[in-house]
């Protein structure tokens, strides 16, 4: 994904994602001896945060610009960043069965081959390894669906967006179906939950969260 606004993604631009991640990160018990893979690390805020609790963290992102910002703003002696697609991390022989833990936050909705990414991430875990995923479903971005419908029916602007199709691929499976998918992709046990998050946003945070990048190459 080529996200040209990677510098704007820091701070207010990712307030919602960071807040949700911080609410759930402790569900993954990080130990001082752990090696961690952060798939879709973005600009690296959580990557660096985890590095203070573990032996090492490898952050990977499909966007070259995101990785560049992460290296510049969130480096640490035990953090390494690489450009790599979530669907291909398991192809790297240095990463296969190389990590105690893996995290993947707000990434799966960017591409349709979600099970391919799951199998690839699973391949990077040591025996007994654990992973924490956070991903979107339709309920999470219902406001975006409403906004799109409103624009398409708008008397003035509707003509410009009639052919618009969202590039997001929401996770539409139930908890039980999700558990089956994760087990089929390599996990011995999968614990899943659906949560609705109520966050109070400032005006700039709301505008940043609703902004669309000029282009996405997946």
With a cut of 90, say whether residue 170 has pLDDT above it.
no
Q: According to the model, what pLDDT value does residue 8 have? A: 55
Structure tokens at 28: 């993954």
Torsion of CA 163, 169, 174, 178, to 10 degrees: 160
Q: What is the tally of helices (H) and strands (E) in the chain?
A: 9, 5
Structure tokens at 50: 């985890």
Backbone angles phi, psi at 104, to 5 degrees: -150, 105
Q: At what angle do helices 175-184 and 114-122 cross, to 10 degrees?
A: 50
Backbone angles phi, psi at 58, to 5 degrees: -110, 115
Q: Which domains, ranges and CATH numbers included, belong to the chain?
A: 6-136+171-209 (3.40.50.150)
With a cut of 90, say whether residue 59 has pLDDT above it.
yes
Laid out side by side, the sheet with 56-61 consists of 79-83, 56-61, 35-39, 99-105, 125-134
With a cut of 80, say whether residue 115 has pLDDT above it.
yes
Question: Residue 192 half-sphere exposure, CB side, CA atoms within 13 Å?
Answer: 17
Residues 8-43 pLDDT 10s? 555 555 667 788 888 889 999 999 999 999 999 999
With a cut of 80, say whether residue 112 has pLDDT above it.
yes
- Determine which of 14-23, 139-148, 176-185 has the lowest per-residue pLDDT on average: 139-148
If you write DSSP's letter for every residue of 81-92 in order, what string do you get?
EEE--GGGGGG-
- Determine which of 53-57, 106-110, 120-124, 203-207 has the lowest per-residue pLDDT on average: 203-207
In which band, very low, low, confident or very high, does the pLDDT at 2 lie, cut at 50, 70 and 90? very low
Give the Cα separation of 48 and 56 in Å (integer).
10
Residues 87-107 pLDDT 10s? 999 999 999 999 999 999 989
């Amino acid at each position: 994904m080529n996200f040209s606004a990677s510098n704007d993604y820091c701070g207010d631009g990712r307030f919602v994602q960071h807040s949700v991640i911080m609410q759930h990160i402790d569900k993954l018990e990080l130990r001082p001896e752990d090696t961690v893979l952060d798939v879709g690390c973005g600009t690296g805020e959580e990557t660096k945060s985890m590095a203070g609790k573990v032996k090492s963290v490898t952050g990977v992102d499909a966007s070259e610009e995101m990785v560049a910002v992460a290296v510049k703003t969130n480096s640490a002696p035990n953090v390494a960043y690489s450009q790599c697609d979530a669907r291909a991390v398991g192809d790297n022989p240095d990463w296969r069965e190389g990590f105690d833990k893996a995290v993947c936050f707000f990434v799966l909705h960017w591409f349709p081959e979600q099970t391919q990414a799951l199998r690839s991430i699973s391949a990077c875990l040591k025996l007994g390894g654990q992973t924490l995923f956070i991903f979107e479903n339709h309920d999470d971005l219902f406001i975006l669906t409403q906004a799109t419908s409103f624009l398409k029916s708008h008397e003035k602007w509707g003509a410009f967006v009639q052919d618009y199709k969202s590039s997001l691929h929401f996770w539409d499976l139930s908890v039980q179906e999700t558990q089956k998918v994760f087990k089929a992709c390599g996990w011995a046990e999968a614990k899943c939950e659906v949560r609705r998050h109520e966050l109070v946003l400032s005006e700039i945070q709301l505008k940043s969260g609703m902004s669309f990048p000029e282009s996405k190459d997946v």
